[in-house]
Amino acid sequence: METSYSPILKDPKSASEHNLGEYSGFAADFSLNSAESELDWLPNGGLNIAYEAIDRHCKTNRQYKKALIWEGKAGETESYTFEDLRLLTNKFANVLQNLGLSKGDRVFTFMERLPEIYITAFGTLKAGCIIGPLFSAFGPDPVKDRLENSGATVLVTQPELRARIAEILPSLPELKHIIVVNKFGRAENPLVENDLEWSDLMNLASDEFNSIETSRDDYSIMHYTSGTTGKPKGAVHRHNSVIQQYITGKWVLDLRPDDVYWCTADPGWVTGTSYGMVAPWTNGVTQIVYEGGFSARKWYDIIQQYGVTVWYTAPTAIRMLMKQGADLPKSYDLSSLRYTASVGEPLNPEAVVWGINAIGMPIHDNWWQTETGAIMIANYPSMDIRPGSMGKPLPGINVGIIDEEGNEKPVGEGGNLAVQPGWPSMFQAYWQDSERYDSRFKQGWYLTGDEAYKDEDGYYWFVGRSDDVINTAGHLVGPFEVESALIEHPAVAEAGVIGKPDPIAMEVVKAFVSLKEGYEASDSLRRDITGFVRTKLAAAVAPREIEIIDSLPKTRSGKIMRRLLKARELGLPEGDTSTLEED
């Protein structure tokens, strides 16, 4: 492994009075758990994320401070104080209780970034239920898999999205209630028979709810994440994760009381809940939520208009901004910005440096994943940045680079990125799949599925995934999920899916398919297959490219060799093909 380090970059805006000093191996008790004393526990010793994020501020001078400033895609705006959110989430907790839900029941959202998604999430947590937010761009198949597996009893959605998944709803016997939010009356006929209307339920519910009774070990949030094989798994977190989400908001994102914070992640992915909901509000910070999608001009405009001070985004978005040039940001007043960070994919060194030229500060890369629940490795504010490195583990997080037997590898050598279990926001289960959960642990390590190496100064460098999971624009895509959708097309016999390198999205999904007898390869068939999977999955995860080939390379046991498809695509050596099936 080559260890040619990039030069250290000093962040001129870094000197911060409350974030970590240069961390060089504090004792474990100077750790994330030290944040426990900064939270307000429930009177009976319990812990509840909604209480920490919302209610506790209402006993302080932050009660009428703006918590959420929302801008809709048509330019509508709304703002909510912590007190507004307390009352509204009380109401939604009562709605759930009135519907007969009890502790541990699953409530899912399939909604765009509307304020109601935040009210639903925290109301659900107050009621002791588990919240599962789904990515709003999904098509019917991914939504069905997740609702079916989780046994969700309530789905909160909006008319347009409900219509998109109408066909799957009758096949979900455990789904008892569909609550529809018709924001600004945007839809003409919002209700289907037996659906419940959000505003009706909320109007009838009391805004007093005093019976929050959750412990640190009660389940709180679940997010589905993709693996190489099988359907996505529901990674389940507990209320205890708030400890790490709160303190990393402070230490890594440098959140301070007067900040205006903007996290661009969708609540359907873990960054959108841990850092788009919990971290800012437990830190008592005002956050901006923009309903619309990416647009370079609009994004710079949001920073300017709302005076955003701390910005948490993703490498693909930064690369898209870079494509528009460094002059565009100069035509906006971005002087409010104090700190910028990114997560989800490797952040190219050029992107870190671009930040300095274009927005006046480097981008701070950090690493974590659905299962870790919160940031684990980071270039935190007081640290010198090594462009291209994910940074260093947070105090109390013990990270190792290990070999297949679980032994630690020497500095500079690549291996499996692993973490010693026990960090506060560690996932507790894959929903109803203990075998898969157990398979993630080996010799006292949690295996992250990533490969990395550590340099002699303790900085970690991402190398790649150790499995076939594809990372496209920060979304993990399991090849199996895409292959399953492809072979539902009547012409497709077999499918193999890989990640193809892409300068903006890091990887795009590429599919190879072979056809059933009687079908001829043609452009129109290829387009038909492309359109078919797009309606089933989501544009973000459906294959960008489909190539029709005669047959797919398989092992003797019949497994499609994605590794070989990828090597061929990239023109790389094919490696060991001794297990390859002979034609």
* 367 sits near ligand AMP (criterion: CB under 6 A): yes
Which of 300/480 has CB closer to ligand AMP?
480
Per-residue binding letters, 269-308, with ligand AMP (x by CB under 6 A): xx--------------------------------------
The Cα–Cα gap between 196 and 107 comes to: 14
Encoded tokens for 409: 């590898």
The Cα–Cα gap between 105 and 125 comes to: 10
Per-residue binding letters, 59-88, with ligand AMP (x by CB under 6 A): ------------------------------
Q: Cβ 378 to ligand AMP, closest distance in Å? A: 9
* 343 sits near ligand AMP (criterion: CB under 6 A): yes
The Cα–Cα gap between 158 and 550 comes to: 43
253 with 382: CB under 8 angstroms?
A: no
Q: Show contacts with ligand AMP in window 85-124 (CB under 6 A).
A: none
Encoded tokens for 467: 């499995």
Distances (CA, A) of 36 to 25, 32, 33, 46, 240: 20, 8, 6, 12, 9
User: Which window, 115-123, 154-162, 343-351, 392-400, contacts ligand AMP (CB under 6 A)?
Assistant: 343-351
Q: Show contacts with ligand AMP in window 372-391 (CB under 6 A).
A: 390
Q: At what angle do helices 315-323 and 296-306 cross, to 10 degrees?
A: 110
The DSSP 8-state label assigned to residue 345 in this structure reads S
Which of 382/471 has CB closer to ligand AMP?
471
Which of 70/135 has CB closer to ligand AMP?
135
The DSSP 8-state label assigned to residue 5 in this structure reads P
Q: Cβ 341 to ligand AMP, closest distance in Å? A: 10
3-class DSSP state of 117 = helix
Q: Show contacts with ligand AMP in window 441-460 (CB under 6 A).
A: 448-450
Q: Cβ 429 to ligand AMP, closest distance in Å? A: 15
The Cα–Cα gap between 551 and 51 comes to: 56
Per-residue binding letters, 472-491, with ligand AMP (x by CB under 6 A): ----x---------------
Q: At what angle do helices 115-126 and 82-98 cross, to 10 degrees?
A: 60
Which of 91/392 has CB closer to ligand AMP?
392
Q: Cβ 113 to ligand AMP, closest distance in Å? A: 18
Q: Tell me the Ramachandran region of residue 338: left when phi exceeds 0, alpha when psi lies from -120 to 50, beta otherwise.
A: alpha
Among 157, 286, 471, 484, the residue binding ligand AMP under the rule CB under 6 A is 471
* 132 sits near ligand AMP (criterion: CB under 6 A): no
Encoded tokens for 235: 């990674």
Per-residue binding letters, 399-438, with ligand AMP (x by CB under 6 A): ----------------------------------------
Q: Cβ 339 to ligand AMP, closest distance in Å? A: 16
* 345 sits near ligand AMP (criterion: CB under 6 A): yes
Distances (CA, A) of 254 to 1, 303, 437: 33, 17, 33
The Cα–Cα gap between 304 and 302 comes to: 5
Q: Show contacts with ligand AMP in window 247-276 (CB under 6 A).
A: 269-270
Q: Taking CA 246 as the corner, what is the angle to CA 242 and CA 249, rounded to the nearest 5 degrees?
A: 140
Q: Cβ 462 to ligand AMP, closest distance in Å? A: 4
* 468 sits near ligand AMP (criterion: CB under 6 A): no
How many residues bind ligand AMP (CB under 6 A)? The answer is 20
Residue 14, C-beta contacts closer than 8 angstroms, at least 6 positions apart: 381, 382, 383
- Tell me the CA end-to-end span of the chain in Å, nearest whole number: 37
3-class DSSP state of 210 = coil
Per-residue binding letters, 210-229, with ligand AMP (x by CB under 6 A): ---------------x----
Residues forming the site for ligand AMP (CB under 6 A): 225, 269-270, 343-346, 365-367, 369-370, 390, 448-450, 462, 465, 471, 476
